Amino acid sequence: MGYLEENPVSSVILPRYTQTIGEYEKKQKKFLSKEEMSLFLKSMNKACLDVRQKRMILLFEFLFLTGLRIGEALALRWENVHLEENIIHIKYNLDYHSVRAKEKKLSLPKTADSIRKIFINERCVEILIWYQTENQLNNFDSEFIFLNSKGNLHALNSLTVFLKRQATIAKIPNKNPRDFSTHLFRHSHISLLAEMGLPVKTIMQRVGHKDEKTTLQIYTHVTQSMNEDTLEKLNEIKL
């Protein structure tokens, strides 16, 4: 039996994957613009019944403003917060499936790049002070920040159910309540930073991404305001 002199598949060109319009539009719907988040917060606060729900609403706002993963936010302890400097230190990730366990399971974040210090704005400081005050008033003796009204860490399932219910009530145009999850706020934060014109590398460092591709997939979801800004700049071109 003789040997082939060349690989018979060497000249085969694999078809390049092309994203369909439907897939692109679906991705576009999986983040909230600043205006949409503002509407969502107004709707949630209007429908808020008690401090239990208030605690969840403020956590959602904090996620939107920081881009933290839900496990990173739940793992935050007061020793990781420096209010005077407007800095939080993300060092751990919480196994949120174990929040009912007596011993909370903390692990290192997904990658070494996820261990980071980030600046937070004044609104985030206000949210942290609110939690600090409420936790003290209720005599919650815990090193963790984001506790529910019973003094335990928020359970992911409870957060998700409440979030989807509130999304149904809010009826934000072109947003499917089934697409709402805590990770939606992380994608929204990255899109917000992209809209502000921050470099990809800066965004990667802030949200703890190791792979540039992960950031770019969200970065390239051009928001409506960016499209409008592009149109304005194009209209300024005079030949």
Task: Please list the active-site residues.
Answer: 69, 102, 183, 186, 209, 219
**Computed over its alpha carbons, how large is the radius of gyration of the chain?**
22
Two structure tokens written together for 21: 């319009």
Distance of alpha carbon 105 from alpha carbon 97, whole angstroms: 9
Distance of alpha carbon 195 from alpha carbon 177, whole angstroms: 24
- Please give the DSSP secondary-structure letter assigned to residue 44: H
Give the neighbor-by-neighbor strand order of the sheet with 87-90. Answer: 81-82, 87-90, 116-119
Do the Cβ atoms of 179 and 30 come closer than 8 Å?
Answer: yes
Distance of alpha carbon 95 from alpha carbon 92, whole angstroms: 10
CA–centroid distance for 96 within its chain:
16
Identify residue 61 by its one-letter amino acid code: E
End-to-end CA distance of the chain: 69
Listed in sequence order, the residues at least 6 apart from 212 whose beta carbon sits closer than 8 Å to its beta carbon are 200, 204
